[in-house]
Chain A
């Protein structure tokens, strides 16, 4: 491999102090024990039923996503920087949403092209002028990060709608603690189990003004056929709130009501795990069977809160992504803590020319694609694949962006032959309500295939427990 990848466990051939105890741990673990533990972990995942694909990735929904027992570790100092950068980004994205559904100052100032916002499919005209409680549109912001060096983190994409995978963050930790209690005595690891409580408080903090007393929060799921249904029920359980489907709710007299055995109960906050288009057949797709008729009228007249707010998706489009550093400067007057990956917009003729000429070195992605589909990793592609992709990009340039192939960091991972470096990314979950909160951790995805840079579970990716060491 020509590119020198940053292995997070080593620096100048020395084990970095934060991994020292883990090195001892693996040394003391014979192969048979490791295999036994791996089998135990899989059995645990199967038993709790966590087998879903990370949202939008496709693939077999019942396939178990491989769990790698080798934790990924951050120091307190590393985490503080990430935390600052993630919170900054979450604030800017929300400021942007409030702005584009309001006066559109950033567009008037010429910092973002009007077309990218107002002609974006995710821009909802129906909520223009509506200010959600506390001005928050995206209550759970999932920011996908990659690392290329000791100090170098890049944001790969933002997820402002309903980022999933947080149940993996919680379950990976739970299972590691159950299998290796000693590790958690030897290392001082920041806990992540406060997440459900923080999420519930965040959701309650954005209850509408008409709410009296303790807000009633529900999770709205499309149902058990959805690949992330496990996560919906898991979070409802841990938060102590009802998990509902569209048919469990109805609208009357300006409020949303939940059918219960004790009669209708008013609902104040809906954490929805269904897309805008399906929320309300009277406002969006008339053929939707998943939503609640009249919901948007209640929402827009202040009778209920919807998290994330309808229309939040306009901030996490791959074409808008390029402008997030600009948003941070414009709304917060700060310099971005976390860098964007340099991105070429194939819709711009200069960029397109560059991309077509340098395709062998670039990663080319569909603007609306996800899950590692509709994507070309130039250095790993065959000549035929590149030629075919070049035709697709040339035919519809506006649908594509390109980025340099990043030298994603690796972390030690258990593989058949023992331990080997594998490429990883990170998705932390930032909560935005009355306050902005971030539990110290996230979901680390790992590309289990040797040399692969694609961490998506549909393309052979796995997951790891992610540690932030206490000071």
Chain B
């Protein structure tokens, strides 16, 4: 499948700001399931800074914008050729070891309810891959997709208690549960090309990867009870949503920030 991406994020400030600095992780990962045909990342009126590939294999670019400014726009466009590897992150080069992803963070900390959920899902036995699948299904059942009830700082435990949430909450909960079972897990940010109904996902998407001995990292999207396939474009990873955020930025000044995001994905089958 060839997926085209047009993604613009604009930050508006209600006062004039002195400048802005951003760290962008907005580049398609390089692995056997993805081939970048064209890709461009620009910050309007911005100055490109240091760029590198980090230990997790993500390309990161620093940008800055000189003030005075009242908005900052990040414009991404490109085309990626994708292949269905049933979630397996084959051919991805990274240095960080899976064990590093056993560490919990505030949003991915497992409370008793998450630990119980993980253990009961795993109780059926089976190998790590089967357990990971059942975990993903259990979370899909326990947290119903519903936008607007959770926010950026909602933890996995809170989302489970609410029983509702969005892809970020599904991913956090899956990570928390996987770690209960001693399976390294991480947060993935990227895009999902919406098919038929389009109701269960946003184009800017997030899911989780679980490390399965023998297979490596495998992408699980609890929100859509599937593995990441050719409809998914993987951008970057981290311990949780904040750590894996495609855009981390800061503007200097006293203005309050609001954000507009438009993502348009198109696809052609080969």
Contact = CB atoms under 8 A, between A and B. Distances in A.
Q: Do A and B bind each other?
A: yes
Interface string A250-262: 1111100000000
A175 interface: no
A298 B21 CA distance: 12
Contacts of A123: 100
A302 interface: yes
Contact of A297 (B55, B62, B66, B250): B62
B239 interface: yes
Contact of B23 (A127, A130, A253, A294): A294
B50 interface: yes
A249 to B, nearest CB: 11
B19 to A, nearest CB: 8
Given A114-B97, A119-B99, A130 B50 contact: no
A282 interface: yes
Interface in A128-174: 128-130
Nearest to B238: A125
Contact of A282 (B54, B99, B250): B250
Interface residues of B, number: 31
Contact of B51 (A282, A286, A301): A301
Interface of B: 19, 21-23, 47-52, 54-56, 60-62, 64, 66, 94-97, 99-100, 102-103, 239, 242, 248-250
A43 interface: no
Nearest to B53: A129
A387 interface: no
A301 B64 CA distance: 15
Contacts of A296: 23
Contacts of B99: 114-115, 118-119
A293 B247 CA distance: 13
A197 B64 CA distance: 35
Interface of A: 101-104, 114-115, 118-119, 123, 125-130, 250-254, 281-283, 286, 293-294, 296-298, 300-303
A128 B19 CA distance: 30
A129 B55 contact: yes
6 contacts: A130-B52, A254-B50, A282-B248, A298-B62, A300-B50, A301-B50
Given A119-B103, A251-B64, A282 B50 contact: no
Contacts of A281: 250
B55 A251 contact: no
Contact of A252 (B49, B60, B97, B242): B49
A125 B102 CA distance: 12
B55 A253 contact: no
A128 B95 contact: yes
Top 7 A-B pairs ranked by shortest CB distance? A301-B50, A128-B55, A297-B62, A129-B55, A129-B95, A254-B50, A293-B21
